[in-house]
């Protein structure tokens, strides 16, 4: 009974809040898919066993993935219907590897890359920031409620008995307290709800699909890095990137990116044209397209693509980490403004 309750609580909690990080779980699934492919094992059984090891929301995603495979779907279709079970760029590489008959090279590329330490660090910072915000919010509400319920009404009553006029700051604070009695509980519930949702990878992925999320510089950089790493796959095998570009246009998780990839594929007749069209569609920078198209040796070009993708990923994660660290000061600033307001009102009174 206790184990069932614990598993139920873990399933409700966001991924990575308890136990291994989400990225570690996704890499475990990558290894299982690779072993199942190379050893010709039953993928469904391996995924089902892995799901038992994760009685949380990620385990539920694994069970959905296993159900799609049990229904006769290909791994390509199953990954498309279970977003978040793999990192989007990793899932795209696997799907394109299947379409271009280069799945062995796709798994080799994914497993040879180092785990995204920066991504785990950023996730931890976001988690700590949200928890810190919740604690500070509860503390501020407790202190503010004590002042607004016990201290300030007493001072207002004293001024009223002596026929004195309250200072403007205290009058404004009292009006704020009267209004806060109505909207403060709703604001508290909204703030706590948003804080908890931000811990969820599914909710953050939903925000990333919005117009604002797609416009973020870090999101564009991660999208570019994923495409460069994807195109390194056929380049390392001295194959044209056209088929991979076609497959990416069909399976990329971003609809607008799929449309741009399709336009780039339709307007290119060679690899050199493809890099120019990718830059024209703003999937890579113009400078990157010009430099890559002039590299003739496939091995050098593949190394350049992987190295450039790693550098762009590092910049994107560093930028996200900086924003996450700066956001830690937001609750302190908001609470400081309120405390300063109360202090000024008390001193003037």
Tokens of 109: 């590329």
148-195 tens-digit pLDDT: 777 777 887 888 888 888 888 888 887 877 776 677 677 777 877 777
Q: What pTM does this model have? A: 0.78
Contacts of residue 218, Cβ cutoff 8 Å, sequence gap at least 6: 316, 317, 319, 320, 323
- What does the pLDDT read at residue 19? 56
C-alpha to C-alpha distance for 6 and 164, rounded to whole angstroms: 59
- What does the pLDDT read at residue 125? 66
- What does the pLDDT read at residue 117? 46
- What does the pLDDT read at residue 177? 74
Q: What is the largest CA-CA distance in the chain?
A: 91
C-alpha to C-alpha distance for 312 and 308, rounded to whole angstroms: 6
Helix orientation angle between 152-161 and 168-198, rounded to the nearest 10 degrees: 160
Taking the mean position of all CA atoms in its chain, how far away is CA 70?
29
Low-confidence ranges of the chain (pLDDT < 50): 1-3, 5-6, 9, 115, 117-118
56-88 tens-digit pLDDT: 888 899 999 999 999 998 999 999 999 889 988
Could you tell me if 274 and 268 are in contact, meaning their C-beta atoms sit under 8 angstroms apart?
yes
**Cα→Cα distances 267→47, 243, 280, 334, Å:** 40, 14, 10, 52
C-alpha to C-alpha distance for 22 and 201, rounded to whole angstroms: 8
Cβ-based burial of 124 (10 A; exposed 0-12, middle 13-18, buried ≥19): middle
C-alpha to C-alpha distance for 19 and 296, rounded to whole angstroms: 46
- Rounded to 5 degrees, φ, ψ at 230 are -65, -45
């Amino acid at each position: 009974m206790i184990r069932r309750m614990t598993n139920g609580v873990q399933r409700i909690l966001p991924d990575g809040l308890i136990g291994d990080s989400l990225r570690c779980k996704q890499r475990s699934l990558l290894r299982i898919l690779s072993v199942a492919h190379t050893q010709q094992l039953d993928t469904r059984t391996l995924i089902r066993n892995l799901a038992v090891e994760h009685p949380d929301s990620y385990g539920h995603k694994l069970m959905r993935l296993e159900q799609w495979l049990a229904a006769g779907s290909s791994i390509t279709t199953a990954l498309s219907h279970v977003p978040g079970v793999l990192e989007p760029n990793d899932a795209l590489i696997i799907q394109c590897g299947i379409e271009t008959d280069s799945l062995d090279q796709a798994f080799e590329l994914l497993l040879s890359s180092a785990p995204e330490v920066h991504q785990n660090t950023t996730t931890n910072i976001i988690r700590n920031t949200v928890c810190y915000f919740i604690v500070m919010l509860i503390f501020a509400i407790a202190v503010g409620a004590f002042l607004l319920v016990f201290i300030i009404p007493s001072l207002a009553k004293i001024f009223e008995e002596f026929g004195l006029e309250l200072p403007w700051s205290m009058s404004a604070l009292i009006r704020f307290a009267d209004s806060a009695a109505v909207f403060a509980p709703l604001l508290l519930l909204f703030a706590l709800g948003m804080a908890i949702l931000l811990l969820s990878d599914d909710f953050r992925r939903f925000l990333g699909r919005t117009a604002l999320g797609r416009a973020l510089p870090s999101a564009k950089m991660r999208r570019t890095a994923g495409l460069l790493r994807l195109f390194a796959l056929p380049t390392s095998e001295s194959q044209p990137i056209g088929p991979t570009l076609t497959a990416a246009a069909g399976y990329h998780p971003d609809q607008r990116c799929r449309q741009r990839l399709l336009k780039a594929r339709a307007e290119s007749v060679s690899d050199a044209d493809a890099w120019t069209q990718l830059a024209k569609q703003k999937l890579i920078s113009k400078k990157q397209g010009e430099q890559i198209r002039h590299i003739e040796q496939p091995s050098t070009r593949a190394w350049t693509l992987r190295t450039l993708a790693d550098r762009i990923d590092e910049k994107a994660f560093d930028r996200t980490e900086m924003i996450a660290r700066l956001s830690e000061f937001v609750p302190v600033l908001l609470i400081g403004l309120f405390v300063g307001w109360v202090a000024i009102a008390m001193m003037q009174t």
